């Protein structure tokens, strides 16, 4: 067994084990910690697949930002003393059935699909090519994603902000109905 | 036994199904979000593995993975803001109790 295979199986074990802990741990804080471990393992897989930019982005965005966001949410919402309450709903059986069936279908189709593995050498300077593609061929999706991120930023602030005077949370105001619809609603109620 | 594309795809399928299981069975809303992040990562593994093994001269698969990461970040931000709002209104983030949009 060569080093590549060994590294793959070590990382695969790490990712799968910590993913199972993420979904089954009773303490949600432990779930967050194991999520960081699983995401780091995925970054290792990206390095093995020669996607160095993505590995760096994975560490920066997932391990750095999203995990911190998750831990913030855990700290702000759940009480650590809540450990003894049930952490799963009544759908454990059907959830196992659905995910197991999905796994069986995917693995079956994977086993029966012939993949044409290319024998060309791996392109040098993939990071440079990636940057060039983002600003030439994929420039429209790139800009759309940046607008999406801006919208998500503003939306998150609007949703979670508090009133500066009373300290209460300010839910987004309901959109008023148009005049014609308001009249129709009033008539139907009267 | 050499590790190739099917190994990466199988690992990705396993992680995705673990995420599906967590999303279906978790009661804590933050736990559901974590499961969704796992599923995003499984899809990213698939994209990068295909890009590496099928088209080694082309990095388009990696470009799509970059977009996936960006969309996942946006999703996590908005979803966590909604979770905080639900916590303030319901005094808990048990998704079984948050069925106000169901009629």
Q: What is the pLDDT of residues B57-89, one digit of tens each?
A: 888 889 999 999 999 999 999 998 888 888 887
What's the confidence (pLDDT) of residue B35?
94
What's the confidence (pLDDT) of residue B89?
78
**Cβ of residue A107 closer than 8 Å to a chain B Cβ:** yes
Angstrom distance (rounded) from CA B10 to CA A14: 15
The CATH code of the domain that includes A15 is: 1.20.120.1200
Per-block mean pLDDT, blocks of 10 residues, chain A (190 long): 89 95 88 93 92 91 90 78 64 90 94 84 80 90 94 88 63 62 59
**Cβ of residue B2 closer than 8 Å to a chain A Cβ:** yes
One domain, residues A143 and A69: no
Q: How much is the ipTM here?
A: 0.90
One domain, residues A57 and A134: no
Q: Is residue A180 part of a domain?
A: no
Angstrom distance (rounded) from CA A176 to CA A117: 57
**Cβ of residue B101 closer than 8 Å to a chain A Cβ:** no
Q: Is residue A130 part of a domain?
A: yes
**Cβ of residue A169 closer than 8 Å to a chain B Cβ:** yes
Nearest CA distance, A82 vs chain B (angstrom): 11
- Tokens encoding A31: 């779930």
Domain boundaries, chain B: 5-90
**Cβ of residue A38 closer than 8 Å to a chain B Cβ:** yes
What's the confidence (pLDDT) of residue B15?
95
Q: Is residue A168 part of a domain?
A: yes
Helix (H, G, I), strand (E, B) or coil at B95: coil
Nearest CA distance, A149 vs chain B (angstrom): 6
Q: Taking a C-beta distance cutoff of 8 angstroms, is the pair A98, B17 a contact?
A: no
One domain, residues A75 and A13: yes
Query: Taking the domain B5-90, which CATH number applies?
Result: 1.10.287.3510
Partners of A86 on chain B (C-beta within 8 Å) are 27
Q: What is the DSSP code string of A117-145?
A: ---SPPPS-HHHHHHHHHHTTTHHHHHHH
Q: Phi first, then psi: give them for residue B97, nearest 5 degrees.
A: -90, -10
Q: Is residue A140 part of a domain?
A: yes
One domain, residues A76 and A143: no
Q: Is residue A16 part of a domain?
A: yes
Q: Is residue A179 part of a domain?
A: no
Angstrom distance (rounded) from CA A175 to CA B73: 27
Domains contained in chain A, number? 2
Angstrom distance (rounded) from CA A23 to CA B20: 9
One domain, residues A9 and A62: yes
One domain, residues A5 and A78: yes
Cβ-defined contact of A110 to B13 (cutoff 8 Å): yes
The range of the structural domain enclosing residue A9 comes to 1-84
Helices A92-111, B5-25: inter-axial angle, 10-degree rounding: 160
One domain, residues A137 and A65: no
């Amino acid at each position: 067994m060569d080093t590549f295979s060994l590294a793959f199986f070590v990382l695969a074990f790490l990712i799968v084990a910590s993913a199972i802990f993420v979904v089954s741990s009773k303490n949600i804080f432990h779930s967050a910690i194991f999520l960081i471990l699983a995401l780091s393992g995925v970054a290792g897989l990206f390095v093995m697949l020669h996607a160095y930019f993505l590995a760096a982005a994975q560490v920066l965005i997932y391990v750095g930002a999203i995990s911190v966001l998750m831990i913030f949410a855990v700290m702000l919402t759940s009480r650590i003393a809540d450990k003894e309450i049930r952490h799963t709903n009544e759908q454990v059986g059907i959830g196992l059935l659905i995910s197991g069936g999905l796994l069986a279908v995917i693995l079956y189709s994977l086993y029966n699909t012939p993949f044409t593995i290319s024998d060309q050498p791996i392109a040098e300077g993939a990071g440079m090519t990636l940057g060039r593609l983002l600003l030439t061929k994929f420039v429209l999706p790139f800009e759309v994603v940046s607008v999406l991120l801006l919208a998500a930023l503003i939306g998150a602030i609007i949703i979670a902000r508090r009133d500066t005077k009373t300290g209460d949370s300010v839910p987004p105001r309901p959109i008023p109905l148009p005049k014609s619809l308001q009249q129709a609603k009033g008539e139907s109620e009267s | 036994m050499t590790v190739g594309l099917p190994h990466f795809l199988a690992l990705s399928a396993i992680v995705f199904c673990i995420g599906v299981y967590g999303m279906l069975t978790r009661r804590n809303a933050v736990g559901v979000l974590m499961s969704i992040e796992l599923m995003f990562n499984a899809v990213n593994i698939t994209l990068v593995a295909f890009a590496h093994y099928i088209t080694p001269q082309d990095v388009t698969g990696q470009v799509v993975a970059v977009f996936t990461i960006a969309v996942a970040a946006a999703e996590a931000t908005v979803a966590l803001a909604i979770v905080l709002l639900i916590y303030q209104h319901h005094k808990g983030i048990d998704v079984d109790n948050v069925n106000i949009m169901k009629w």
